[in-house]
Structure 1
Amino acid sequence: MPSALYSRDILRLAASIPHLATLERPDARVEKRAPLCGSRVAVAVALDSVGRLAALGQEVKACALGQASAALMGAHAVGRSAAELDHARAQLAAYLAGTRDDPGAWPGLAIFANARAYPARHGAILLPFEAAAEAAAAAAQSAAA
């Protein structure tokens, strides 16, 4: 595996994950696991009155790529809707799979360009976005009920 996969920028992100905490009263919490590598991410969210993320908590036990992804997701998730999070997840998945040439509008995701050649690493990269999108959707659905 080339050292470019675990570049200095990836390692810096992995060491700077925001919102590493549990929320006392989340509207929803989702835990996801990548079976190939064993990475695990749990995301708890609280929504504001218009359905956007007001608070985020993350528990991350993942490789450097999963940690870097959690850092990028966490840095820009507050203020986003469930639909925006799901859209970012879908764009990142398509980018990693090679069916999309760019990672979309979410800041910083181009850093995973070298990981596209390693499908076994895609699950760990997607975990934070999958957990956040699912948690936000569950919280929005619960609020609408």
Structure 2
Amino acid sequence: MNAPLYNTEILRLAASIPHHQRLAEPMGTSEKRSPICGSRVTVDVNLADGRVSEVGMLVRACALGQASSSLLAANILGKTPAELATARDELTAWLAGEGSAPSWPDLDIFIPALTVTARHPSIRLAFEAAAEAAAIAAMSTTGNDA
């Protein structure tokens, strides 16, 4: 594992985060912060038919947190809250050395970070916030139907 932690692809992703504006009226919002480095990611989501139809993000994170946010944002539309929870759990297990590579596209870019455990919280932030925001949004739609 001689690949640099902050490689060209990580830096490219960090500089090009899709959906980088907060939503005006989100159905669900979550902010997650890494106590180790202070990185912070806020994710807003709207659901339609049980799937993410809109996403907005505010990312104040290191390059790894920004790159992870970019990968999340590029592939989140159309996902269910359960799929986001699965992606979060797969990423967490993989980073901890307890699971295989996550099914979410392109997360293998973080292979050089597997041994740098202090960076794992930043990499997880966007996925943790998105899963929680989607769960909140799902609860709000269920509550509206009752």
TM-score computed with the length of structure 1 as normaliser: 0.95
Q: Deviations over 1:101-140 (max 9, x none)?
A: 32x2110000011111011100000000000000000000
Equivalent in the alignment of 1:132 = 130
Q: Which of structure 1's runs of 4+ aligned residues deviate more than 6 A?
A: none
The reply on whether 1:143 has 2:141 as its aligned counterpart is: yes
Q: 1:121 aligns with which of 102, 113, 119?
A: 119
Matched to 1:120, the amino acid is A
Equivalent residue for 1:10?
A: 10
Count of equivalent residues: 142
SS at the partner of 1:5? coil
What is the Cα deviation at residue 3 of structure 1? Answer: 6.9
Does structure 1 conserve the Cα–Cα contact (< 8 Å) formed by 2:3 and 2:112? Answer: no
Give the corresponding residue for 1:76.
Answer: 75
- For structure 1, list consecutive stretches of 5 or more residues without a partner in the other structure: none
Deviations 1:23-78 (A, max 9, x none): 11110111110000100000000111x11000000000000000000000000001
The TM-score normalised by the length of structure 2 is 0.95
Query: Percent identity of the aligned residues?
Result: 52
Structure 2 unaligned spans of 5+: none
In angstroms, what is the RMSD of aligned CA positions?
1.0
